[in-house]
Amino acid sequence: MKKVLLTGASSGIGLAIAKLLVGEGHEVWGTSRNLERIPKLPGWHAVCLDLADQLSVEEAFSFAVTEAGYFGVLINNAGAGHFGPAELLPMETIASQFQILVFGQIQLMQLALHHMQKRGEGLIINVTSLASRLPVPFMAAYNAAKAALAAFTMSIQLELGDSHVRIVDLQPGDISTEFNQSVIQSAKTDSVYDAKIAKTWEIVEHTMKNAPGPDLVARHVLKLINAVQPPPRIAVGNVFESKIAPMIFRFLPQRVRLWGLKRHYDI
């Protein structure tokens, strides 16, 4: 039985992970900004956390680890998205995306890492995104933030060396959740972008509806938790997204990558 701290546990991928882990006998401290959204189940403890607030991150970790005694696993999963032209993105919006998707999660990772290093073991799973490598048009701040967390994760992997604390970069592709419904769309646009924005959103919605469900990610998380030597990075999604596209794009020049993504989103 593992004691797990999981952010963003009230919906989507986080909810699926929490349900599976609790069902497998693990104990989960799941976070949300609204504790009423956390299901009341045996083995599931609700923790209030707002990644936009540094003090909230410190207090949430302190509360949870005091209650749990220790954590063997941290899953940085909570997220938020913004959709709109990069040219017109307010600095406040970009800063907000980075606070939630990068700074808040790094802060929590550092707290957990210090705690786990003292114990001599642990596992941290950072849920980034394939968008860090295959960016989605009009989600520049989201793409960049996910790429930043992926790069930070790899840097720590280099630095830890032979430590028994393992860190995994888990990169989901398109997963069918309510994420799109919570994505904030820019009120300020420009007519030059209108047609491209409409086409991109149409593709994003269509792809999301036909994507695998969050249980797929949850099953991969369970495998990582049970693994003696978890891989440093995994991609999760349909076969094309998780295996074929990353392999192809790794060897293509940037001009061809851009051409392929423009064709995919019909822009």
> pLDDT (tens digit, 9 = 90+) per residue, 161-203?
889 999 999 999 989 887 766 677 776 677 888 889 999 999 9
> pLDDT (tens digit, 9 = 90+) per residue, 67-103?
999 999 999 998 888 899 999 999 999 999 999 999 9
**Looking at residue 146, what is its pLDDT?**
97
**Looking at residue 140, what is its pLDDT?**
96
Give the integer Cα–Cα distance in Å for 93 and 86: 10
> pLDDT (tens digit, 9 = 90+) per residue, 115-128?
999 999 999 999 99
**Looking at residue 57, what is its pLDDT?**
97
- pTM score of the predicted model: 0.93
Contacts for 57 with CB less than 8 Å, ≥ 6 apart: 49, 50, 51, 104, 107, 108, 111
pLDDT at 236 over 90: yes
Task: Point out the residues that are catalytic.
Answer: 142, 146
Structural domains of the chain, with CATH: 3-264 (3.40.50.720)
Q: How sure is the predictor about 245, in pLDDT bands with cuts at 50, 70 and 90?
A: confident
Give the integer Cα–Cα distance in Å for 22 and 29: 10
**Looking at residue 53, what is its pLDDT?**
95
**Looking at residue 161, what is its pLDDT?**
85
Q: How sure is the predictor about 113, in pLDDT bands with cuts at 50, 70 and 90?
A: very high
Lowest mean per-residue pLDDT among 35-39, 95-99, 179-183, 254-258: 179-183
If one compares 264 and 180, the residue with the highest pLDDT of the two is 264
Give the chain's mean pLDDT: 92
Please tell me whether residue 7 adopts helix, strand or coil conformation.
coil
**Looking at residue 48, what is its pLDDT?**
95
If one compares 44 and 38, the residue with the highest pLDDT of the two is 44
222 φ, ψ to 5°?
-60, -40
Q: How sure is the predictor about 264, in pLDDT bands with cuts at 50, 70 and 90?
A: confident
Beta carbons within 10 angstroms of residue 184's beta carbon = 13
Give the integer Cα–Cα distance in Å for 257 and 207: 19
Of all residues in the chain, what percent carry a pLDDT higher than 70? Answer: 98
**Looking at residue 178, what is its pLDDT?**
76
